[in-house]
Structure 1
């Protein structure tokens, strides 16, 4: 697995960071590939996440994998925004059909995504009712925090805390149980 990594961590890095990179590289690559649908882009995202970690070296990270995973996710969102801006430029019709076909997930990726969604649904079902509802409204119904707060009869900051705690619970449970 180390041979497939684009760049090994610098030997001067703290051992915890090097361990995080070598231990979680494969899982981060799988996660990034699910996001991007492209191995090369996924490798670029994981490599860029490592470079950011290498530059900033936060000492207060409890879970290097979750930290790197969130960095990969944020980089992916930035990548999507950049692609959206680039797509606003006129694209020839024949290139458009090729792009749409390339953006379709493979059957394996579709199954993995479906299984992960089922796992998330199970995790959410075990949460306290208000927390589960807040998470569903925010992430599955794309409701705004003020709408969620009004529906639950709580403050906006409490609704935000419910969602954040729910996301942390999901991430912890997914980390604990690992990929399936």
Structure 2
């Protein structure tokens, strides 16, 4: 009898782990709001920068180096942009992508979003701005941004085959 019980427990555990491994999460950027959305349901037609994440937490199309994953978990990067910011925001995005840094891009569209960033920065909001973990920097200054990213442990250059992040990265 104990052997049957052991077999039953093993089969149950295997079926539960197989079911949880099949969970899929989707990440995409809403084309109308510029917001990054995470959901267990597939994105609507027209969604931008769709990434399918398997149940083990890895994105299907992007395998990050260990050091980058560690830095991203401890110090996530958010780039704040606006529709009116073209050249400087592209340069900021290119700096992050050139280093292979996974980041979330938040496009400020409403006064509420600008006010929230102003409160976070402790001064008048400006774009592009960056948050690296709890550290924030207003305006684009490559040396200052690189210093923040270096202190967080991000790589100085992108790994071979790294995929770009951000709203306009693809």
TM-score (norm: length of structure 1): 0.27
Higher strand proportion, which one? 2
Greater fraction of residues in helix: 1
Higher relative contact order (CA 8 A, sep 6+): 2
